[in-house]
Each structure stands twice: as structure tokens, then as C-alpha cells.
């Protein structure tokens, strides 16, 4: 009778073999970013990859740049949008009037043609 375990021959807490025993890790290089709040962010990237121009600061969430003397400015928070604002982005006034007329016609028909 099967026990229902998909992984056989392992025990709880067992981990993979250390990477140094199986393969050599890819060459990496540190890249440092600075944000407008004087936070320093250091990440490791693959040696052959070009670093992105900005990186999000994990401490304050603002964008961080590669130039310590000239970090990117603060992001303006996007204002809260209501459901109606999103609908108005998708539909024109003419589309809204047509949908309203159709809904009112259906309502009148259900109520007996008032």
C-alpha cells in the first residue's frame, strides 16, 4: 500500500549537497546603489550582466541609483482611484450613455413597460 509520500529516501531536515562539491558557482560582482534617503544597497550580480540603472531600496522603497552624488528623486505616490475612475478610463461618455439606456430598457421591460 503506498504511503502517499511523493519523495522517498529523504528525511526531514536533510538538505542538498553543498554546491562546492557539485559545481563551481557563477562569477559574481558587487554593485552598489544609493537612494535619496542616504541608504546604501549592495547586491551581487553575475559578472557578465550589465547592472540596471535603478534598484528599489529595501529600507524605504524609493528608487536607488548607481551615482552616489546624484541619486534618483523620490517617486510621487499615485493617488487612490475609485472604481468609477477606472471605469471612466475604459469607457467614453457615449459608451456609458448607451449602456445606461440598455440597462434602463431592460429594467422597464421587466417591470411591465412603465
pLDDT tens, position by position, 17-69: 565 666 777 899 999 999 999 999 999 999 999 999 999 999 988 999 999 89
Distance, CA of 49 to CA of 30 (rounded, Å): 11
Residue 23 in marked binding region: no
Residue 60 in marked binding region: yes
Strand 40-46 to strand 28-35: parallel, antiparallel, or no bridges (unpaired)? antiparallel
Q: Which CATH number among 1.10.3470, 2.20.28, 2.30.30, 3.40.1620 corresponds to the domain 25-65?
A: 2.20.28
Residue 83 in marked binding region: no
For the chain, give every domain's residue range: 25-65, 78-114
Computed on alpha carbons and rounded to an integer, the radius of gyration of the chain in Å comes to 29
Residue 39 in marked binding region: yes
pTM over 0.75: no
Amino acid at each position: 500500500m503506498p504511503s502517499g509520500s511523493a519523495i522517498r529516501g529523504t528525511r526531514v531536515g536533510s538538505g542538498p549537497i553543498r554546491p562546492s562539491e557539485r559545481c563551481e558557482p557563477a562569477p559574481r560582482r558587487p554593485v552598489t546603489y544609493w537612494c535619496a534617503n542616504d541608504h546604501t544597497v549592495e547586491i551581487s550580480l553575475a559578472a557578465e550582466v550589465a547592472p540596471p540603472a535603478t534598484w528599489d531600496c529595501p529600507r524605504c522603497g524609493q528608487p536607488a541609483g548607481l551615482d552616489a552624488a546624484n541619486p534618483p528623486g523620490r517617486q510621487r505616490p499615485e493617488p487612490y482611484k475609485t472604481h468609477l475612475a477606472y471605469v471612466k478610463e475604459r469607457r467614453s461618455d457615449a459608451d456609458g450613455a448607451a449602456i445606461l439606456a440598455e440597462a434602463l430598457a431592460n429594467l422597464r421591460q421587466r417591470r411591465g413597460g412603465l
